[in-house]
Amino acid sequence: MRDDGRRARIMAAVTVRDPAAGVSELTQRLCRFAVDEMALSGCALVLMPTAESTTVLAGAGRHARTVTGLQMELGEGPCLQAYASGVPVLLPDLAAENANRWPAFATAALAAGVRAEFSLPLSVGPGGIGTLDLCRDTPGMLSEEHLADALVAADIARDAVLYQPYAQVGPDLVELLATIGTDRVVIHQATGMIAVQLDETMSNALARLRAAAFASGRSIYDIAQDVVERQVRFDE
Amino acid sequence: MSENGGGRAAQSGEPGPDVHSSDVSREAVLARAFVRLADTLASDFDVVDFLQSLATDSVEILGAEAAGVMLADPRGGLRLIASSDERMRLLELFELQGAQGPCLDAFSSGRPVQASAADSRARWPVFAPEASDAGFQMMCAVPLRVRTDVIGALNLFRGTDEPFTGAEMDIAQAMAEMAAIGLIQERALRERSLLAEQLQAALNSRVIIEQAKGMLAEYLAMNVDDAFKLLRNYVRDHNRKLSEVARDIVNRKISRAELTTGPGQQP
């Protein structure tokens, strides 16, 4: 089932200088490897404790954060589908997706210059911990070789996050998680404030925040910033 | 004899073939056994039931009278996990107690072992008389092995002096290897799932702490930094964990009034 030769080749490519690299360095190199090897415009390793919060652990390429950011904005998209279903979502031509599964996402991604998106789940048994997302600024399917490499890269990333170099989720990863994605923190803070303003659940408060961003054409981050700075209230 | 011994075997619900099955039905039984051996990643997987099936299936397929399965414990010692009947269970326990016998040899060498009654008297002087008293004359054992990793052994006994053929030994080894692969995969999955849960919990705690900060800031009309100070004071004064308190706030189990009274309110 596992392609040991492929795994060994990719591991060698990402550990060449420093075999003892921590999870942060290793996942970063994996994304870089994918971008270079597969001519991608972006690759990101995204951790998701739930479908409602995403943390970009590592990324490479100019579109590294584009796809994840849009899905956080819109609450829909291929990464969320891959995470929820445990099955890869392969979209070789987003222009053809336009009217289909994710109209809002496809339109926004095209506007940002993304033409193809491939989202691979980081599966653990029946569940998962996130996705490895690959995108291109040109349409077209990944070759079989590249897809096979990407699937193995997703396995390596998952194992790196879960195993390396500690027996449990150790201080390395915890520290890393405490310092990354700080621009997303404000979204969760604003969600808490809106939940109080509307006497609502966190899920509904986040949905209201998204809806406000979508309706105003601004980013969810900007609106959240306004909420935290008390420029905007939701109970008025 | 083996038919009335195993309560678990009777639960398997598989229609048993005739005692002297033809090659065709033996193949079908073998195929079914391999499917069962591959099925270790189900959510209701049970290692004892799984190895009980291995014992029962190997008796049926290999024309043995009894079978037992031992697994290595974390310290490297063997433990009896499943046996096809009660007589076998006692004999295997005796093998472990006497620290000699075919199962132990297969486990320590990582290779198949076969012995007649005469061979066994020479190799295992303590064990052989017990096997003979239990009515067994021919015995073999194969390691539960994946590459160089030996995790246990399968023991098979016959009441007659008919040796296990080369083909039968091969089938026994194949079944044992299949079981070992299944068990190792299941262990790896269990370990990974536990780590994944811890990771998800750690990530989710961070989100919930931020949400709780936002709630406090809104309750008390203060900025989120001051809200976090207040939250930390509450945690310290109540000697609780930050992530637990945050969760209680988000789930509205700690009221606004509780958060703003008590010794923690002074900055």
Q: Is the pLDDT of residue A113 over 70?
A: yes
Q: How many domains does chain B have?
A: 2
How confident is the model over A24-42, as a mean pLDDT?
92
A81 and A198 both lie in a single domain: no
**Are A53 and B217 a contacting pair at CB < 8 A?**
no
**Are A162 and B199 a contacting pair at CB < 8 A?**
yes
Please indicate, yes or no, if residue B88 is contained in any of the structural domains: yes
Q: Is the pLDDT of residue B1 over 60?
A: no
Task: Please give the residue range of the domain that contains residue A208.
Answer: 182-228
Please indicate, yes or no, if residue A233 is contained in any of the structural domains: no
Return the higher-pLDDT residue of A214 and A163: A214
Please indicate, yes or no, if residue B16 is contained in any of the structural domains: yes
A80 and A191 both lie in a single domain: no
* Closest Cβ opposite residue B203 in set A47, A126, A128: A47
Q: How confident is the model at residue B182 (pLDDT cuts 50, 70, 90)?
A: confident
User: Quick check: B211 and A189 in contact, CB under 8 A?
Assistant: yes
Please indicate, yes or no, if residue B162 is contained in any of the structural domains: yes
Distance from CA of B199 to the nearest CA of A (A): 6
Q: Is the pLDDT of residue B164 over 60?
A: yes
B49 and B173 both lie in a single domain: yes
Is the CB of residue B225 less than 8 Å away from at least one CB of chain A? no
How confident is the model over B106-116, as a mean pLDDT?
95
Return the higher-pLDDT residue of B163 and B255: B163
A89 and A13 both lie in a single domain: yes
Q: Is the pLDDT of residue A85 over 60?
A: yes
Return the higher-pLDDT residue of B180 and B18: B180
Chain B, window 114-173: residues with a beta carbon less than 8 angstroms from a chain A beta carbon: none
A74 and A165 both lie in a single domain: yes
**Domain boundary at B132, B163, B190, which?**
B190
Chain A, window 77-116: residues with a beta carbon less than 8 angstroms from a chain B beta carbon: none
Residue B237 Cα distances to A32, B206, B226, B265, angstroms: 46, 21, 16, 10
**Are B217 and A192 a contacting pair at CB < 8 A?**
yes
User: Quick check: A183 and B210 in contact, CB under 8 A?
Assistant: no
What pLDDT shows up at residue A171? 56
Task: Please give the residue range of the domain that contains residue B224.
Answer: 192-265
* Percent of chain A topping pLDDT 90: 49
Please indicate, yes or no, if residue A120 is contained in any of the structural domains: yes
Please indicate, yes or no, if residue B2 is contained in any of the structural domains: no
B49 and B170 both lie in a single domain: yes
Chain B, window 10-49: residues with a beta carbon less than 8 angstroms from a chain A beta carbon: 41, 43
A129 and A223 both lie in a single domain: no
**Domain boundary at B190, B209, B239, which?**
B190
A168 and A211 both lie in a single domain: no
CA pair distance B89, B106, nearest whole angstrom: 18
CA pair distance A46, B137, nearest whole angstrom: 61
* Closest Cβ opposite residue A196 in set B202, B206, B219: B219
How confident is the model over B65-84, as a mean pLDDT?
87
Is the CB of residue B195 less than 8 Å away from at least one CB of chain A? yes
* DSSP assigned state of B251: T
Over residues A165-209, the pLDDT tens digits come to 444 455 566 666 666 656 678 999 999 999 999 999 999 999 999
A–B: how many Cβ contacts below 8 A? 98
Distance from CA of B94 to the nearest CA of A (A): 38
How confident is the model over B182-195, as a mean pLDDT?
84
DSSP percent split of chain A into helix, strand, coil, nearest 5: 55, 15, 30
- Best mean pLDDT range from A43-47, B5-9, B25-29: A43-47
B74 and B27 both lie in a single domain: yes
A122 and A203 both lie in a single domain: no
Distance from CA of A129 to the nearest CA of B (A): 6
pTM over 0.90: no
B203 and B247 both lie in a single domain: yes
Please indicate, yes or no, if residue A71 is contained in any of the structural domains: yes
User: Quick check: B57 and B175 in contact, CB under 8 A?
Assistant: yes
**Are A169 and B214 a contacting pair at CB < 8 A?**
no
Is the CB of residue B193 less than 8 Å away from at least one CB of chain A? yes
Q: Is the pLDDT of residue B125 over 60?
A: yes
Please indicate, yes or no, if residue A36 is contained in any of the structural domains: yes
A87 and A60 both lie in a single domain: yes
A85 and A114 both lie in a single domain: yes
Please indicate, yes or no, if residue A235 is contained in any of the structural domains: no
Q: Is the pLDDT of residue B227 over 60?
A: yes
Q: How confident is the model at residue A45 (pLDDT cuts 50, 70, 90)?
A: very high
Please indicate, yes or no, if residue A234 is contained in any of the structural domains: no
Return the higher-pLDDT residue of B61 and A24: B61
Which residue, A163, A83, A87, is CA-closest to A128?
A83
Please indicate, yes or no, if residue A35 is contained in any of the structural domains: yes
A145 and A216 both lie in a single domain: no
**Domain boundary at B190, B207, B222, which?**
B190
How confident is the model over B111-140, as a mean pLDDT?
93
Q: Is the pLDDT of residue B5 over 60?
A: no
B58 and B142 both lie in a single domain: yes
How confident is the model over B102-129, as a mean pLDDT?
93
SS3 B138: strand
Closest CA in chain A for residue B204: A49
Return the higher-pLDDT residue of A124 and A126: A124
**Are A202 and B217 a contacting pair at CB < 8 A?**
no
Please indicate, yes or no, if residue A95 is contained in any of the structural domains: yes
Residue with tokens 């040899």: B105
Distance from CA of B9 to the nearest CA of A (A): 28
B249 and B162 both lie in a single domain: no
A212 and A110 both lie in a single domain: no
Q: Which residues pair with B229 in a beta bridge?
A: none
B186 and B112 both lie in a single domain: yes
Return the higher-pLDDT residue of B1 and A40: A40
Please indicate, yes or no, if residue B50 is contained in any of the structural domains: yes
CATH number of the domain bearing residue A121: 3.30.450.40
How confident is the model over B100-106, as a mean pLDDT?
93
A148 and A217 both lie in a single domain: no
Q: What is the token pair recorded at A100?
A: 């289909």
**Are A197 and B218 a contacting pair at CB < 8 A?**
yes
B101 and B174 both lie in a single domain: yes
User: Quick check: B82 and B68 in contact, CB under 8 A?
Assistant: yes
* Closest Cβ opposite residue B204 in set A50, A169, A173: A50
Q: Is the pLDDT of residue B158 over 90?
A: yes
User: Quick check: A166 and A180 in contact, CB under 8 A?
Assistant: no
Please indicate, yes or no, if residue B1 is contained in any of the structural domains: no
* DSSP assigned state of A76: -
Tell me what the pLDDT averaged over chain B comes to: 84
What pLDDT shows up at residue A44? 95
User: Quick check: B164 and B172 in contact, CB under 8 A?
Assistant: yes
Biggest CA-to-CA distance, chain B? 89
CATH number of the domain bearing residue A212: 1.10.10
What pLDDT shows up at residue B261? 67
Q: How many domains does chain A have?
A: 2
**Are B198 and A124 a contacting pair at CB < 8 A?**
no
Q: Is the pLDDT of residue B79 over 80?
A: yes
**A188 chain-B contacts, CB cut-off 8 A:** 207, 210-211, 214
